[in-house]
Amino acid sequence: MTRIPQDTIDRIRDSADIVDVVSHHVDLKKRGKNFFGLCPFHNEKTPSFSVAPDKGIYHCFGCGNGGNAVNFIMEIEKISFVETIEQLGNQLGIEVNFSGDGNSKEFFGNLYEIHEVASKLYSDLLFSNQGQKAKEYLLNRGLNEESLKLFKVGFAPANSSFLFNSIKDKNYDKEILEKSGLFGFSNSQFYDRFRSRIMFPISNIKGKVIAFGGRVFGKDDPAKYMNSPETPLYKKSEVFYGLNLTRDAILKKESAVLVEGYTDLIQLFQAGIKNVIAVSGTAFNNRHVDAIRRFTSKVYLSYDGDQAGINAAKKAGFSLLKGGLDPKIIIIPKGLDPDDWVKKEGASVFISEGIEKAYSLLNFYLKTSNFSKKAPSDQSKLIKEILTETLEIQDPIIKQDIVKSLAQVAGVEENQILQMLTQQIRVKRLTPKINIEKSKPLLFNTVQAKAELGIIKVLISNNAKARILIKEDLDINQIQNDILKKIIEILMNTQDVNPAEIIEHFDSLEDREIISKTLIDEDNTSSPIEMAEDCLNTISNVSTRKKIKQMRIEIRQMESENKDPTDLMKKIIQMQKKLHA
């Protein structure tokens, strides 16, 4: 991995003003010691995003996202740790020099380089004799050479070692090849992941190529499209194809046209509809909603006109609506893709008949489901489906509008639809939840957990006597939560406590959620000395009770084996006296 001297990282972290960093993305208002604003990582109407300038950290009490200035830049701009340090270093006038051997210090640089090399090789090949048929196919689809070059479209030949042989003289480390996502490995040999495919480079917001999407061409393959796997550079659910070229148009138009395919995007862009983006290698999800919210609040969904496209548009539409955005659905003529329609009718028709006549999500749902022609029982079922999705919409005005509209199309009173909504709420509460995502961090509701959190609060306080008391009397092995145990160990071995530095020891969002909340919380209910004594006593007592419980099990075992448990019983009595004392 890339190495940056720790003292450089420390200087940049300590010099970065967390309020200044966050203020570039969040409107902050001072409230007491801290600053508050609307969280940029999830949709909310009441500020729950807190920034503590004295501690150099932030925490959202709504979604849990937390960390220091470095974490914030990494999360908001979706760039690597090394890129973040370099960016902050440039802003602060701190030179970032790399240390370590040649391979380690060039890790991310080599990953970017190998993608740029691959992109140029594929592009050059498309415009060579070897790529002539692939280029003709694209030209026949209506794409011109200028667009192909702008989007760096290329061609990967059938040769399984074309890319590997082209770059092997550069002597990239094996780790670079493996983590690039561009190669497979078999029988101790690397081979190209992409073969016989038209290649669409995927770039980050800064325009650097970070992955590829490949459409099969010239061979039979059940996988029509193949995309790069996730790599240190590429996180599928956080990247939009084409955004590096279309961002300015989206900001200017205050809206985005969301399409499914690479050629859809290029065709629309070529026709002059430049506020367009496409998802990259995965289905549209909540992370995409969070990402798109930074650029616009209105999204026109332009999916294929077949049933699969209709279903995808409904799902994406509700995701946008739940995220506080305004989705509109463009009706694509049956049997056509967005790029086919633009090529056939031109941009003016796409705008006048598509964008300007786009349906609201609810009207699109009802139209494509043939609501008016359904039997009453089927209409009721469809309304329940819509209301099930409506439950997760936070905005009461949008929710009320859906209820009102459903009442009108169904020809019933609004209170009847509201009754159905209430019924769906009951159904949802009674339905067992299948948690397919990683469980949320533990809620610290037990006496032991609260005491462990209290220990941390004492250790980050400015009270030297209370900190010494903890360091002298705490048995670290009595700490049960592994995450808190790690924090406590760090704090007990740290002379000067720096919350922003502590957070750097934890990589996962879940861990940082716990840590940032713990560090940012203020507790003025008791003095640090009193808190230290109470927490130490609680942790010791919990540990003692646990030992007593285990010893009672041992006593029963000894009695079953006709052994004398007197000594153990005496120990239990002594421990119980200590507890009561």
Res 101: pLDDT: 47
> pLDDT for 335-394, tens place per residue?
788 989 999 999 999 999 999 999 999 999 999 999 989 999 999 999 999 998 888 887
Q: Which residue has the higher pLDDT, 548 or 439?
A: 548
State the pLDDT at residue 441.
44
The answer to whether residue 437 scores a pLDDT higher than 60 is no
- Which of 402, 422, 403, 423 lies closest to 414, judged by CA? 403
- 424: its two tokens: 């769906």
For residue range 500-544, what is the model confidence (pLDDT) as tens digits? 877 877 777 777 887 788 777 765 556 788 888 888 888 888 888
Q: What is the mean pLDDT of residues 298-310?
A: 90
AA identity, residue 250: I
The helix (H) or strand (E) run that includes residue 240 is strand 240-241
Band of pLDDT at residue 489, cut at 50, 70 and 90: confident
Does residue 293 or residue 157 have the better pLDDT? 157
Cβ distance 100 to 3 under 8 Å?
Answer: yes
How far is the C-alpha of 244 from the C-alpha of 266, rounded, in Å?
13
Task: Tokens for 89, please give them.
Answer: 């270093």
114 is written with which tokens? 């190998």
Please, what is the average pLDDT of the chain? 85
Residue-level pLDDT at 262: 94
* pTM of this structure: 0.64
Per the model's pLDDT, the better-predicted residue between 565 and 149 turns out to be 149
Question: Which H or E run includes 376?
Answer: helix 376-390
What is the structure's pLDDT at 568? 83
Contacts of 486 (CB under 8 A, 6+ apart): 505, 506
What is the sign of the dihedral through the CA atoms of 354, 201, 242 and 278? positive
pLDDT greater than 60 at residue 34: yes
Q: List pLDDT tens digits, range 61-94.
A: 888 889 999 999 988 887 778 888 888 888 888 8
Taking residues 119-145, what's their average pLDDT?
95
- The pLDDT of 256-272, averaged and rounded, is 95
Q: Tokens 């740790």, residue?
A: 81
Lowest mean pLDDT among 106-110, 192-196, 212-216: 106-110
pLDDT at residue 433, as a whole number: 52
Q: Would you say residue 246 has pLDDT above 60?
A: yes
pLDDT of residue 280: 77
Whole-angstrom CA distances from 423 to 47, 365, 388, 390 are 31, 21, 10, 13
Q: Which residue has the higher pLDDT, 523 or 496?
A: 496
Residue 223 vs residue 23, higher pLDDT: 23
- pLDDT band for position 434 (cuts 50, 70, 90): very low
